Amino acid sequence: MDLYSGYINRLIAELSVLPGIGQKTAQRLAFYMINMPKESVEKLAGAMVEARNKVKYCKCCFTLTDDEICPICSNSKRDHKQIMVVENTRDLHAYEKTGRYEGVYHVLHGAINPSMGIGPNDIRLKELIERLEHDVDEVIIATNSSIEGETTAMYISKLIKPTGIRVTRIASGVPVGGELEYIDEVTLSRALDARVEL
């Protein structure tokens, strides 16, 4: 027997598919939304629809942006000869919060993971190699310290080394198995400063 009406059940079901949202949290959010002022619910729904329809990938680094080129890539004060390779946009934002990195980024949108059927062609490696045809001095590999992140780092290093471009890896200090988006700014800064040649 359903405890709630069809509309409430549908809202709970839709919310519970979001990452990190279990059934109880979905119920809590659903009841909160139902009790919100109608205008606030409409603003929230509108923001979700607009973001989904208007946010796209930067044509240069592949982070999420409203424009063709993101604010980082379009900033002439950034060092465009230094590219930090990250797995996802959340990792990019984690490094940006440190305020220490002045180069640009390349977002792979994943890591090589043969057990999940994710190979080099399934992430943005081809686009990274195309970017290296321009004037680039260093590629900093800042993939996660997981098996997949390490595999991806070694693969990228082997691709880039023959070009003569300097390839570095963020140093430890980032715990093995740790996700960059959850690591504090001081640890990320130290890892960046102590990066090593690959």
The per-residue pLDDT for range 88-101, each reduced to its tens digit, is: 999 999 999 988 89
Same domain, 30 and 93: no
Same domain assignment for residues 131 and 43:
no
Report percent pLDDT > 90 for the chain. 74
pLDDT higher at 83 or 190? 83
> Are 107 and 191 within one domain?
yes
Residue for token pair 């040649």 = 197
Q: Tokens 């607009």 appear where?
A: 50
**Number of domains the chain is built from:** 2
When pLDDT is averaged across residues 107-126 and rounded to a whole number, the result is: 93
Q: Do residues 94 and 165 share a domain? A: yes
Q: Kindly tell me if the per-residue pLDDT of 196 is higher than 70.
A: no
DSSP one-letter string for 27-59:
HHHHHHHHHS-HHHHHHHHHHHHHHHHH-EE-T
Q: Are residues 85 and 160 both part of a single domain?
A: yes
Q: What is the per-residue pLDDT across 119-136, written as a single tens digit (0 to 9) for each? A: 999 999 999 999 999 899
Distance between CA atoms of 43 and 40, rounded to whole angstroms? 5
Domain, as residue range, for 168 = 70-197
Q: What per-residue confidence (pLDDT) applies to 124?
A: 95
pLDDT given for residue 102 in this prediction: 95
Please tell me whether residues 15 and 75 are part of one structural domain. Answer: no
Task: Determine the pLDDT at residue 1.
Answer: 42
**Count of other CB atoms within 10 angstroms of residue 38:** 7
Residue 145, pLDDT above cutoff 90? no
Q: What is the pLDDT of residue 3?
A: 64
pLDDT band at 4 (very low <50, low <70, confident <90, very high): low
Tell me the average pLDDT across 190-194: 73
Is the same domain home to 102 and 156? Answer: yes
Distance, CA of 25 to CA of 20 (rounded, Å)? 9
Residue 76's contacts (CB-CB under 8 Å, 6 or more residues apart) are none
Q: Which two tokens stand for residue 189?
A: 């800064």
158 in the same domain as 77: yes
Q: Is residue 60 part of a domain?
A: no
pLDDT at 150: 87
Q: Are 61 and 70 in contact (CB under 8 A)?
A: yes
Whether residue 113 sits in one domain with residue 83:
yes
Confidence of residue 191 (pLDDT cuts 50, 70, 90): confident
Asked if residue 153 has pLDDT above 50, the reply is: yes
- Hey, is 157 helix, strand or coil? helix
Same domain, 93 and 19: no
User: What pLDDT is recorded for position 48?
Assistant: 95
**113 assigned to some structural domain:** yes
Distance CA 74, CA 45 (A): 30
**Residues 26 and 95 both lie in one domain:** no
Please return the burial class of 45, using the count of CB atoms within 10 Å of its CB with bins 0-12, 13-18 and 19+.
Answer: exposed
Is 48 found in the same domain as 87? no
- Tell whether 1 is covered by a domain: no
